[in-house]
Amino acid sequence: MAKRLIEDIRVGESAGGIACGPVGGSIVVEMMIRNTEDNSVSYHQIVETEGMPTLLEAEESLFDILIEEDFEDKQAWAKVEEAQIGGYCGYSEFYDDVKNQEAFDEEDAPLWKLLVFFTRASWEAIEKMKPQFIGKALEDIDVPVCDVEQEYLDDQEE
């Protein structure tokens, strides 16, 4: 049976800048996944800007493009636009999709939840947790609950 191995996890923050005022940087998390059946590699990214996550999936790393935010590089940003598979105004929408299997199926939910976990973790926790996941199969991982997932779960109980 094919497994999806986590080969690498990269986390960073873009510099931000000025839009209609000062804008903080985006948190970027990228996970490199290898399919053991055909040895193919895919890259999955989440970009959180001002609490709004955007999901991306590509056959090549987009991490440097997303971190550098060189919007003048039209060719690079075309790759980013092509890779986008979903965007949310907040995490409650994301977890609604996970729960209802709207944007992705049950098999892919752990991948996206793990990306959110790393997006929301402190830098110290990220460095501590990355080695616990790299080299492991997604199918064998229990994804920790992060702050926004716990808030979502708490709201569902009310």
**Per-residue pLDDT at 121:** 95
CA trace torsion 96, 125, 119, 104 (10° rounding)? -40
**Per-residue pLDDT at 129:** 93
**Per-residue pLDDT at 21:** 53
Q: Which two tokens stand for residue 116?
A: 């959110």
Chain centroid to CA 102: how far? 17
**Per-residue pLDDT at 19:** 57
The structure's pTM equals: 0.90
- Report the C-alpha gap between 130 and 144 in whole angstroms: 12
Which neighbouring-strand residues pair with 13?
27
22: left (phi over 0), alpha (psi -120 to 50) or beta: beta
**Residues 35 and 4 sit within 8 Å (Cβ to Cβ):** yes
**Per-residue pLDDT at 40:** 95
* Coil vs helix vs strand at 104: coil
pLDDT in tens, 108-129: 889 999 999 999 999 999 999 9
Phi, psi of 156 (to 5 degrees): -70, -30
Low-confidence ranges of the chain (pLDDT < 50): none
Task: Give every CB contact of residue 144 below 8 A, 6+ residues apart in sequence.
Answer: 117, 129
